């Protein structure tokens, strides 16, 4: 594990403790899994991974922990798939790209003129999310190779 990863987990744990949140071993395992994951996992994936370490954990415990982390601003919920919610351990605003071929979700860093706006045309902006859909670079390369 690198120092940034450890630092990120430690900082999150400290913020949660300051908010009076009890950190059970199961909650810590969920936090650790999310912080390690770059795949924007859905609840089923998180549950199956945590269940390997904690066989008695219930899907409800995983879901309630994820909701708690969303409510405290530690993670983001993504509705990019439409059929199920995914989770992003990076709470700062950024956009996401879903590859329609392989199903992977990528963080997208683009200059967005409205991402930090608080007001637009007199409307209070609470959140900005942009989901981009298409074919990722890896899949595009594979498709090109298959065609030629």
* pLDDT per residue as tens, the chain (148 positions): 566 778 888 999 999 999 999 999 999 999 999 999 889 999 999 999 999 999 999 999 999 999 999 999 999 999 999 889 999 999 988 999 999 999 999 999 888 888 888 899 999 998 888 899 999 999 999 988 887 6
- Give the Cα separation of 59 and 80 in Å (integer): 21
**Residue 138 in 3-state DSSP?**
helix
Q: What integer pLDDT is reported at residue 4 of this predicted model?
A: 72
Instruction: Give alpha helix (H) positions in 37-88.
Output: 43-53, 59-71
d(CA 64, CA 59): 9
Q: What is the pLDDT of residue 52?
A: 96
Alpha helices by DSSP H, the chain: 3-18, 25-36, 43-53, 59-71, 137-147
Q: Which residue has the tokens 């209070």?
A: 124
Q: What is the pLDDT of residue 2?
A: 65
pLDDT at residue 108 in the model: 92
CB 90 within 8 A of CB 96: no
CB 105 within 8 A of CB 98: yes
Give SS3 for 1: coil
pTM, entire model: 0.86
């Amino acid at each position: 594990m690198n120092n940034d990863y450890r630092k990120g987990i430690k900082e999150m744990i400290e913020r949660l403790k300051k908010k009076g949140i009890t950190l059970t071993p199961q909650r810590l395992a969920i936090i650790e899994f999310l912080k390690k994951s770059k795949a924007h996992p859905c609840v089923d994936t998180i549950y199956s991974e945590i269940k390997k370490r904690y066989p008695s954990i219930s899907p409800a415990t995983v879901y309630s922990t994820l909701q708690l982390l969303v409510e405290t601003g530690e993670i983001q919920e993504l509705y990019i798939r439409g059929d199920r919610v995914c989770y992003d351990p990076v709470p700062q605003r950024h956009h996401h790209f879903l590859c329609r071929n392989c199903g992977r979700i990528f963080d997208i860093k683009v200059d967005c003129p409205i991402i930090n706006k608080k007001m637009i045309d007199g409307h209070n902006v609470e959140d900005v999310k942009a989901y981009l859909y298409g074919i990722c670079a890896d899949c595009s390369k594979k498709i090109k190779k298959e065609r030629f």
